[in-house]
Structure 1
Amino acid sequence: MRRRALLGAGGWLAAAVLTTLACIWAVSLIGTDMAGQAVRIMPLDEVERVLATSSAAPPAAPPAATGPQAVTGAFSYAEGAVTAACEEGRALLLSWTPAPGYGVEEVERGPAATASVVFESDDRTAVISLTCPAGKPVAALRSAAEPDED
């Protein structure tokens, strides 16, 4: 009986040690990503600085459109970039990327006679509208300053 009690206590002790080691190892992973590299939280001013220096160019290759007869086009403006497709005379937004300092306010993706995206910053609003008058995407930009809220 004494031997059974010692084995039980030893097993419990081994399980407790293994659990403790596993917890210590798991806690040591906090602060590293899955590849084992340290993760650093960036302050807001550093994030804004990085975003201000990055480019807002459209994707290098526009994504494939939905159908075999679709025609695509990429358009880039100071406020942001869009990639669109035309199929059967209807516009479809494939992708949209706001420029640094802008965010996406509203998207009418289509397919429709007119697809559009609204990019907005603290002081400007830009609407990019896309149509397909001759089977090819055509973009129009309407940009305006935000009214002061005084």
Structure 2
Amino acid sequence: MRSRLPLVMAGWLVTGALATGAGVAAVTFLGEPLTASAHRPLSSAEVEEALARALPPETVPSAAAGPDAAVPSGGAGPEPGSTSAPETGSTPSDTSSAPVTGSTPSGTPSATPVGDASAPPATGPGNGRSRAITTAGGNVIARCDGGLVVLRAWSPAQGFQVDDVERGPAARARVEFESDEADVKVEVRCGAGGLPAHRVHD
């Protein structure tokens, strides 16, 4: 039994080697025409047959179609003998009726004159002089401007109150302070040099 086992194993190996060699030979023999057809350029009939299998029947391009078949139905040019109006210049431009710039004639004077000699010069603040006046009845601030005096402010002293005021502007301004015991009247005029000058009447 032991002497027959090596023979059986040798037979299996020989049989496997033969089967493997036969398979490799068959694949080599059959593979040449397959690979050769894969790299061989196809004819026009084979191309149409391949497209017919891949695309629907209505989208297959015809081999006999001329160069006009590539032109879409909506893109056909004008028929012979027909004339069409040119697109440029068919519609007049609206901007030609009114000028864009220069709407005001050059000879028309400006609405706002510049440097009008007849306009009076601007006057600045007055050059008047002010003075604070202190009396027993109260305090007064007067100002002289252009020969006229005006009382800017007044304040009665303790125990006094304001009875009457003529503040101006005028040639004379006055204010009267009164209390239970005395009345103090302050009269102001413009003195020399335009400085307010006052007089007190009890």
Q: TM-score, structure 2 length as denominator? A: 0.37
Q: TM-score, structure 1 length as denominator? A: 0.50
The answer to which structure has the higher strand fraction is: 1
The answer to which structure has the higher helix fraction is: 2
Q: Which one has more relative contact order, counting CA pairs under 8 Å at least 6 apart?
A: 1
